[in-house]
Structure 1
Amino acid sequence: MPTVLVPLLLAFDQILKLWALENLSPVPRPLLGDLLYLTLVRNTGAGFGMLEGQAFLLGWVSLGVGSLLLYLLAQRRYAFWPTLALSLIAVGALGNGIDRLGRGFVVDYLDLGTSIPPIAHFPVFNLADVCVTVGAALLLLAPKRKRGF
């Protein structure tokens, strides 16, 4: 059942990115007071400024990871939580991979523009990034079974 989310979230990710390109600018626009802003960033690297200018290589790696996860999900039956987690990670990898190969950059638009010290300088991100983060957290927190997932 969680794998049904993959095409829906992937489409929603791409729609939001198209909307961001058409409607946002690099000037932050408040969304939730001083906590969350909408800020357009064209990211040619990976998170936290790593591998800047390597969009083509990162795009193929992202598509490879996303495709591998979908293949694994199709080949084997996992419990609910690991299936959801792997599906979310696949969405994130595929969504950002499509951007990197199709545009040459990832469209980021969610900005934690707050002065709270731990997140004051957090990079701008997108729905695909949220999917990867939530998926990874679910993998870490999911109840473990004795055999595999």
Structure 2
Amino acid sequence: MAKQKSFKNLSSSPKSSMLPWLGIATIIILIDQITKVTITRLFSYGDSMPVTSFFNLVLTYNKGAAFSFLAGQDGWQRWFFTAVAVAAVIFILHLLRRHAGQRMFCWALALILGGAIGNLIDRLAYGHVIDFLDFYIPNSTLPHWPAFNVADMAIVGGAALFIIDELRRVGK
């Protein structure tokens, strides 16, 4: 019984292991890369396949950042966004080490870490990020949202968890 109690105390301490959070990030990276490899094998660039009345699978490349920010530049943005991603990964690892016992905060960090590494792999391997999820409002004159991928979803999910975590802290 004493061992169980000490194990419980260890898992909730601020010095808890980073391993679970790195495991979550790894799962995100694997799912992201598997889906990207699958879509690039099944589609040619620009191909689109309707799935529902509001969703298509499409193969597109993003040389910029979110919403194709700076995508039209002459190539320097690849290395800029690569450097930003590497810096973010290092900073997130530092935060995970320092706050490994804060569950929601670390969930957010793990999701963002996995997404950042997933897109970083694309930038290093291909010079662009592979996007393939295309949502839109049917029968609307509004344009489709920019296509995105699993890594992008993880980053947005992590950002949402950050907001929720912060609102909980402020509420206390």
Aligned to 1:7: 26
Moved segments of 4+, more than 4 Å: none
The structural deviation recorded for 1:145 is 6.8
Q: Does 1:64 align with 2:76?
A: no
Gaps of 5+ in 1: none
For 1:29 and 1:129, the matched residues in 2 are separated by: 20
For 2:130 and 2:107, the matched residues in 1 are separated by: 24
TM-score, normalization by structure 1 = 0.86
Aligned to 2:169: 144
Distance 1:114 1:28, change over 3 A: farther
Report the 3-state secondary structure (helix = DSSP H, G, I; strand = E; otherwise coil) of the residue aligned with 1:109.
strand
Aligned to 1:122: 145
For 1:137 and 1:122, the matched residues in 2 are separated by: 19
Aligned to 1:39: 58
Q: Deviations over 1:52-77 (max 9, x none)?
A: 14122112211221232023202333
Greater gyration radius = 2
Report the 3-state secondary structure (helix = DSSP H, G, I; strand = E; otherwise coil) of the residue aligned with 2:169.
coil
2:67 to 29, 48, 54: 48
TM-score, normalization by structure 2 = 0.75
Query: Aligned AA for 1:16?
Result: T
- Out of 36-45 and 52-61, give the one that drifted further: 52-61
2:109 to 72, 86, 92: 86
Tell me if structure 2 keeps the 8 A contact 1:61–1:97.
no
Gaps of 5+ in 2: 1-19
